[in-house]
Structure 1
Amino acid sequence: MRLPARLLPLTAATTASLLLTGCFSAASDTDGSSKGESRRIRVAMMQPPRSGLSPLSDDAFKLSRWSTAETLVKLDEDGDAEPALATEWKQSGRDWTFTVRDGVTFHDGTDLTAEAVVNSLTRAATASPKPRILDGVDMTVKADGDKVTVTTAEEDPLVPQRLSSPQLAILAAKAYKGKTVNPVGAGTGPFELTEVNGTSSATLDRYDDYWGGEAKAPGIDVRFVPDGTARAAALRSGEADIVEAVPVSQAAVLDQDLITEVPMPRTNTLYLNTEKGVFKDASLRAAAREAIDTKSLVDGVYEGRADVAEGLLGPALPWATGLREPAGGRAKAGDPAGRTVTIGTFTDRAELPEVAATLQQQLQQAGFKVKLEIREYANIESDALAGRFDAFILSRATVLDSGDPAAYLYSDFASEGSFNISQLADPAVDEALEKASSAPTGDARRRAIIEAEAAVLATDAAVPMLHERVVQGDAAGVADAAHDPRERELVTIDTRVR
């Protein structure tokens, strides 16, 4: 069991700090100070690049968080599309036409044109494998003057939201010369990626010809620090200005003025197998739901740094709470009568084994007998998807790449869903999910999504327990760092070190 944060030995933090000593260049401390402006921003990030910073992979989110690669569209707080490299767009059936912003240059000095947009989007649409946001989407792109037309095989109301994904960033032609996509010197953002040192570091300099104005910081120095204790120590010692993903166990021993907690669109959920076994009985699913004390999970395992779940969609989607009504139509709780259930989860997220142990105690107190099976995620996912557990604990992103939760709800709870751990096949749920998936964006779609959530909750196929938060560390001199629940922004044009 993990030691409480207040009991962690200080020597561990001190040792971790030594791992970072000298890892940021001397220029980080001095650049710009003689001019009275911000110095370079030192960032400690959790995960090193997995695919050489190719935007066609999850590395795209790093490029976005460093404000070096941009997309045609960005999302507002509610997940609605706003202009970025495209200034406007309109739909006509399966066609969406986007007007490309004038006066934008790539970091290599070439102009942003409709042809450059087509080049980037076509490379993404024909990639193998495709970026996740285009999974199952047949998309073609063509240029006409300063406009780009995106055509999908079926009418798709989410095209603008899809094009907001960092995996569909628009890069200069030079990025696509080789077999892999190389983003160095090829973006359009306020910071130019100038150097990448494998999985250890990256360097970005201010791009003076940025179309949106001049960045307040002269550059960014990034170090990849997978060890959470080391990242926290870097903030404590002053080795880093911005630290992403501070572990819950470390947050309590840091200066709380340096910590910001942001609700994530990620829900910790207990999926119950509705197809076979004990939880095929709706009354026993209800008994499990009633046995779970979610507040004790938040207070005990997450040390108060999470939010008790009222539904599948949490506070990172602020519109959900205002539309949600009390859940109804659920079965009454039955008697577990000592029936044995097996709960699976994985070790990759440090808190989940502790969640499993706590649930084991709570369900046993309610009359179930509970076995736990805990492995690495890569070794347990296939069994979970095949329905080999009575229940499975999963920390699940609820908006995926489009900023829209309908795709998550469909994949997890539709009869044909690709991630249907609950093995749910419910006609009422399927109907609600189809309605949500096809609804136009805006208020109508949000209402349909909440109706679909209610339909899922009525089955007790999933028990939402808590919504996770991202814990970010900002040194005392940092101003205007982004605190983004979708983790698309971190250092922006306005971020600086005072």
Structure 2
Amino acid sequence: MSRTTLPAAALAAVLLLSGCFGGTTEASGDGAGSGDRVRLAMLQPPRSGLSPFSDDAFKLSRWSTAETLVTLDADGVAQPALATGFAQQGDPRTWRFELRDGVTFHDGTPFTVESVVTTLTAATKASPRPRILDGVELTVTPDPAAPADAVLVTTGDADPLVPQRLSSPQLSILAAAAYGADGVVDPIGHGTGPFRLVSADTTTARLDRYDGYWGGPAKAAGIDVSFVPDGTARAAALRTGTADVVEAVPVSQAALLDAAQIHEVPMPRTNTLYLNTEKGAFKDPAVRAAARAAVQRDPIVATVYEGRADVAAGLLGPALPWAAPARPQRTPAAPATVTGTPIVLATFTDRAELPEVAVQLQQQLEAAGFTVEQEIREYAQIEADALAGTFDAFILSRATVLDSGDPVAYMYSDFACDGSFNIAQLCDPAIDAALKAASAAAPGAQRQAAIMQAEKLILESDAAVPLLHERVIQGESGAFTAVERDSRERMLITSGTAPA
């Protein structure tokens, strides 16, 4: 499709990109000299004024303007960032974090113990609180033994995931001036990252290189951001050369772009068929096994997702690289013979692929002997019925790790007896015990093994039939190297992103 034949909304968005990114070389606002600036097209505009206590925090992280005490590696293990070291104290509820020297905020003020205390205390008092602190009682104080160099973080209950929690972009550390008396947090000019946020609104944002960055100056002069919700327009911006990096290219547009510009990143999101274990046809484990045996994943991936997804072997996919090697063998239940068994299969329209997945599954289940009736609505109008167990089967696209980078919270929510999102109505004491063991295990190999044991029991119950793991498609023009391709969508443009 040429630029002149774009739909009106898409054309308008491309023109906006062209206006925002009119120059290819600009001087840095911090005296770094001239250099190329990254032109970035993003999916969603800020929803909460770029408050770090909201999901807007992930934009601040992807722009490398706000930083956290720790980061996560590919396996979800906490690594040093603004904190150079951390360890649990003798009290299992208390962790000590040693802070990095020589860090300054973009407003010139120093990064100190008081900065950390101010940020984390403000987070605990925010309304609504950052999602990562749901159900967590947390206090932070200077370490009496080294009040200028370290903080103590104490939780109400022992929590082995405290470092992982503090890696959440929603707990990025900002300068004291960012926190207003009215509870509003202003990140502009108040981060510690390699790029200083200069301005932002609902259509654009500008960031300049910060020469005082503790890790050394960034290789790009800055970032010019445009928010382009229309997927066709984002793809067109890449195709017409008005953007260097594009978030979330739609599957339907990927084939229209140069294959060298398309990069598929596995997401920690699984498309799953949940079966109602409490009542109806799937109360019988053998009937659930018959449904599981009927599912053919490859045609769904090939047709609905045009091959741009990964066939599921479990609840956790390739976005968690440790999951597959740690997955134990399962013993599947024997399926019943099904003849005309009626079931109601439900899903929602908000994700365009799911109704198509429902059509494929209906055909597969009917071929196995079920009689299938579909129920499809908008998510806001169907969620309550799904959680109440109204349907026999429900197709859901579900994030499998939350802000801590750990899947236990998702598994507990969806499959524990008192799980808050238990669409399968599952209640199995053995599964609850496995989830409790995983929750208490220390991060690393021990926790991973416990998680996979819980996954094994859940899958052997046939309460959930994982179908596929989704990917996000990232577009890159090739004008810049070292653009991050992050399955957690925390990093994108970094200090290492450089003109090609």
Tell me the TM-score range normalised by the shorter chain: over 0.9
Between 372-381 and 391-400, the greater mean CA deviation after superposition: 372-381
Match of 2:405 in 1: 403
1:337 equivalent to 2:331? Answer no
Q: Structure 1 unaligned segments of length 5 or more: list them.
A: 1-6
Residue 358 of structure 1 aligns to which amino acid in structure 2? Q
What is the CA distance between 1:244 and its match in structure 2?
A: 0.6
1:183 equivalent to 2:187? Answer yes
Match of 1:296 in 2: 299
What is the CA distance between 1:66 and its match in structure 2?
A: 0.4
Out of 273, 281, 302, the residue aligned to residue 284 of structure 2 is 281
Match of 1:19 in 2: 13
Match of 2:205 in 1: 202
Q: Deviations over 1:382-426 (max 9, x none)?
A: 221111111111111111110111111111111111111111100
User: Taking every aligned residue pair, what percent have the same amino acid on both sides?
Assistant: 63
Match of 2:359 in 1: 357
Distance 2:3 2:338 in 1: 43
User: Match of 1:253, SS?
Assistant: coil
| Matched-pair contact (CA < 8 Å) for 1:14–1:233 | no
Distance 2:21 2:365 in 1: 55
Match of 1:76 in 2: 73
Summarize the Cα distance change of 1:61–1:119 in structure 2 as closer, same or farther, 3 Å threshold: same
Q: TM-score normalized by structure 1? A: 0.95
Distance 1:399 1:15 in 2: 34
Distance 1:493 1:368 in 2: 55
Match of 1:101 in 2: 100
Match of 1:265 in 2: 268
Q: Deviations over 1:251-270 (max 9, x none)?
A: 11110000001111111111
Match of 1:497 in 2: 499
Q: TM-score normalized by structure 2? A: 0.95
Match of 1:435 in 2: 437
Residue 30 of structure 1 aligns to which amino acid in structure 2? T
Out of 206, 218, 225, the residue aligned to residue 215 of structure 1 is 218
- Count of residues in correspondence between the two structures: 489
What is the CA distance between 1:179 and its match in structure 2?
A: 2.7
Distance 1:99 1:461 in 2: 44
Residue 186 of structure 1 aligns to which amino acid in structure 2? H
Summarize the Cα distance change of 1:363–1:11 in structure 2 as closer, same or farther, 3 Å threshold: farther
Distance 1:14 1:100 in 2: 51
User: Match of 2:418, SS?
Assistant: coil
Q: Structure 2 unaligned segments of length 5 or more: list them.
A: none
Match of 2:85 in 1: 88
User: Match of 1:318, SS?
Assistant: coil
Match of 1:469 in 2: 471
Match of 2:391 in 1: 389
1:234 equivalent to 2:237? Answer yes
| Matched-pair contact (CA < 8 Å) for 1:38–1:496 | no
Residue 121 of structure 2 aligns to which amino acid in structure 1? T
Structure 1 runs of 4+ with >6 Å offset: 7-10
Distance 1:393 1:28 in 2: 46
Q: Deviations over 1:168-212 (max 9, x none)?
A: 111111111143211111111001111112x21111111110111
1:62 equivalent to 2:59? Answer yes
| Matched-pair contact (CA < 8 Å) for 1:456–1:462 | yes
What is the CA distance between 1:285 and its match in structure 2?
A: 0.8
User: Match of 2:488, SS?
Assistant: coil
What is the CA distance between 1:37 and its match in structure 2?
A: 6.5
Summarize the Cα distance change of 1:76–1:334 in structure 2 as closer, same or farther, 3 Å threshold: same
What is the CA distance between 1:495 and its match in structure 2?
A: 0.9
Residue 410 of structure 2 aligns to which amino acid in structure 1? Y
